[in-house]
Structure 1
Amino acid sequence: MSENVLAIAMVFIGLFLIGGVFSLAKQGLKIGAAVCALGAAMAITAGVLWW
Protein backbone atom coordinates (compact mmCIF):
# COMPACT_ATOMS: atom_id res chain seq x y z
CA MET A 1 0.00 0.00 0.00
CA SER A 2 2.71 2.49 0.90
CA GLU A 3 4.50 1.82 -2.39
CA ASN A 4 1.43 2.98 -4.31
CA VAL A 5 1.18 6.10 -2.17
CA LEU A 6 4.79 6.99 -2.92
CA ALA A 7 4.28 6.35 -6.64
CA ILE A 8 1.17 8.54 -6.70
CA ALA A 9 3.04 11.25 -4.80
CA MET A 10 5.88 11.19 -7.35
CA VAL A 11 3.44 11.48 -10.26
CA PHE A 12 1.66 14.34 -8.49
CA ILE A 13 4.98 16.13 -7.95
CA GLY A 14 5.77 15.64 -11.63
CA LEU A 15 2.44 17.15 -12.66
CA PHE A 16 3.05 20.07 -10.30
CA LEU A 17 6.43 20.65 -11.93
CA ILE A 18 4.82 20.58 -15.39
CA GLY A 19 2.69 23.50 -14.22
CA GLY A 20 5.93 25.21 -13.23
CA VAL A 21 7.30 24.64 -16.73
CA PHE A 22 4.34 26.45 -18.27
CA SER A 23 4.61 29.27 -15.75
CA LEU A 24 8.34 29.78 -16.25
CA ALA A 25 8.05 29.57 -20.02
CA LYS A 26 5.30 32.19 -19.94
CA GLN A 27 7.61 34.49 -17.97
CA GLY A 28 10.40 33.95 -20.48
CA LEU A 29 12.69 32.02 -18.14
CA LYS A 30 13.72 29.28 -20.52
CA ILE A 31 16.60 27.87 -18.44
CA GLY A 32 14.35 27.56 -15.39
CA ALA A 33 11.65 25.93 -17.50
CA ALA A 34 14.17 23.43 -18.86
CA VAL A 35 15.39 22.51 -15.37
CA CYS A 36 11.81 22.20 -14.16
CA ALA A 37 10.93 20.03 -17.17
CA LEU A 38 13.86 17.74 -16.40
CA GLY A 39 12.68 17.39 -12.80
CA ALA A 40 9.12 16.72 -13.94
CA ALA A 41 10.27 14.01 -16.34
CA MET A 42 12.35 12.35 -13.63
CA ALA A 43 9.53 12.50 -11.06
CA ILE A 44 6.92 11.07 -13.40
CA THR A 45 9.30 8.35 -14.58
CA ALA A 46 10.11 7.43 -10.99
CA GLY A 47 6.42 7.29 -10.10
CA VAL A 48 5.55 5.09 -13.06
CA LEU A 49 8.47 2.72 -12.50
CA TRP A 50 7.78 2.59 -8.76
CA TRP A 51 4.18 1.55 -9.37
Structure 2
Amino acid sequence: MTENWTAIAMAFVALFLVGGIVSFLKQGLKKGAALLAALAVLATTAAVLWW
Protein backbone atom coordinates (compact mmCIF):
# COMPACT_ATOMS: atom_id res chain seq x y z
CA MET A 1 0.00 0.00 0.00
CA THR A 2 2.32 2.73 1.20
CA GLU A 3 5.69 2.95 2.90
CA ASN A 4 4.80 5.99 5.02
CA TRP A 5 3.48 4.07 8.03
CA THR A 6 5.04 6.50 10.48
CA ALA A 7 3.31 9.46 8.86
CA ILE A 8 -0.01 7.60 8.90
CA ALA A 9 0.47 6.70 12.57
CA MET A 10 1.23 10.32 13.46
CA ALA A 11 -1.88 11.47 11.61
CA PHE A 12 -3.98 9.05 13.66
CA VAL A 13 -2.31 10.26 16.86
CA ALA A 14 -3.21 13.83 15.86
CA LEU A 15 -6.84 12.83 15.29
CA PHE A 16 -6.91 11.06 18.66
CA LEU A 17 -5.59 14.20 20.33
CA VAL A 18 -8.27 16.32 18.64
CA GLY A 19 -10.86 14.03 20.21
CA GLY A 20 -9.17 14.62 23.55
CA ILE A 21 -9.35 18.37 23.00
CA VAL A 22 -13.10 18.17 22.48
CA SER A 23 -13.47 16.02 25.59
CA PHE A 24 -11.36 18.33 27.74
CA LEU A 25 -13.29 21.39 26.57
CA LYS A 26 -16.60 19.72 27.45
CA GLN A 27 -15.23 19.10 30.96
CA GLY A 28 -14.06 22.69 31.28
CA LEU A 29 -10.35 21.82 31.38
CA LYS A 30 -8.98 24.62 29.23
CA LYS A 31 -5.32 24.20 30.18
CA GLY A 32 -5.44 20.49 29.35
CA ALA A 33 -7.12 21.25 26.03
CA ALA A 34 -4.40 23.79 25.24
CA LEU A 35 -1.72 21.20 25.98
CA LEU A 36 -3.43 18.64 23.76
CA ALA A 37 -3.80 21.25 21.03
CA ALA A 38 -0.05 21.88 21.10
CA LEU A 39 0.62 18.14 20.94
CA ALA A 40 -1.84 17.74 18.06
CA VAL A 41 -0.06 20.49 16.13
CA LEU A 42 3.27 18.75 16.74
CA ALA A 43 1.89 15.37 15.63
CA THR A 44 0.39 16.93 12.49
CA THR A 45 3.67 18.66 11.72
CA ALA A 46 5.56 15.39 12.20
CA ALA A 47 3.18 13.57 9.87
CA VAL A 48 3.51 16.20 7.16
CA LEU A 49 7.29 16.37 7.41
CA TRP A 50 7.65 12.59 7.44
CA TRP A 51 5.49 12.26 4.32
Per the normalisation by structure 1, the TM-score is 0.92
Secondary structure of residue in 2 paired with 1:43? helix
In structure 2, the partner of 1:30 is: 30
In structure 1, the partner of 2:11 is: 11
Give the gaps of 5 or more residues in structure 2: none
Number of matched residues?
Answer: 49
In structure 2, the partner of 1:21 is: 21
**Hey, which bits of structure 1, 4+ residues long, moved more than 6 A?**
none
Identity %: 59
Higher helix share: 1
Per the normalisation by structure 2, the TM-score is 0.92
In structure 2, the partner of 1:40 is: 40
Alignment RMSD, CA only? Answer: 0.5
